[in-house]
Amino acid sequence: IILALVSAVVGELFVRLKQPNIVGIMLTAIILGNIFGLFAWSANPILQFLTQIGAIVILFYAGLESDLGELGENFYSGLKVAVVGVIVPFALVFSYLYWISNTSWAVALLSANVLVATSVAVTVAVFTQHNAQKSKIANIILVAAVIDDVLGMLLLGVIKPLTTQEGGYSPITTVMQIVLAIGFIVFGVLLGRMAARGLSTVF
């Protein structure tokens, strides 16, 4: 409760400074988390449950604020933004860690993969604060953020077997993980749209 109250106050201060409140909230979580060791509580099942509920609520809100038709119209523009947003940070982080910092290639690959993902929740929060969630630019960036996460997941499907020492590398395992990831996304969208029609009627 204290963390939520402090985050709300800091978020409001950031708004008054004409900055996104989500930035203030995240900074508060990082600072207080390190000072009071809150991250050590992550194994607590109650906290895990609350964080999962929080993520679901934020993404549900993002879905309510998004128009699937408008997102579809900006798909190719978002795809180009996403591809660049994946290749550039991945290449830069891997190059720095592997060739400059002399980090192991496995750690460099996984670290680069982490920075590929984009937070859809943060994207929506920033645009909502400025009442720009329906703009063309917002739709392109939102599409790019979603595709970023999908590409990051597919990339992880390739990288994980490469960096796992158990049983060596198996091309079949890599292909299967990619196929399962794509299948999950495709069926998730199709089933989600089918379910949404029925749920909309109920609501």
Of residues 172 and 81, more confidently modeled: 81
Would you say 113 and 159 are in contact if contact means Cβ atoms under 8 Å apart? Answer: yes
84-142, pLDDT tens digit by residue?
989 999 999 999 999 999 898 889 999 999 888 777 777 777 887 778 877 888 888 88
> 53 or 58: whose pLDDT is higher?
53
Question: Rounded to whole angstroms, what are the CA distances from 125 to 133, 158, 201?
Answer: 9, 31, 28
Mean pLDDT of 55-77: 78
pLDDT band at 80 (very low <50, low <70, confident <90, very high): very high
For residue 65, pLDDT over 70 is answered with no
What is the distance between the alpha carbons of residues 145 and 126, in angstroms, rounded to a whole number? Answer: 13
Distance in angstroms (rounded) separating the CA atoms of residues 13 and 16: 5
pLDDT at 88: 94
pLDDT of residue 166: 58
Which 8-state DSSP code applies to residue 42?
G
Q: What is the pLDDT of residue 39?
A: 60
Strands (E), the chain: none
In angstroms, how far is CA 97 from the centroid of its own chain? Answer: 22
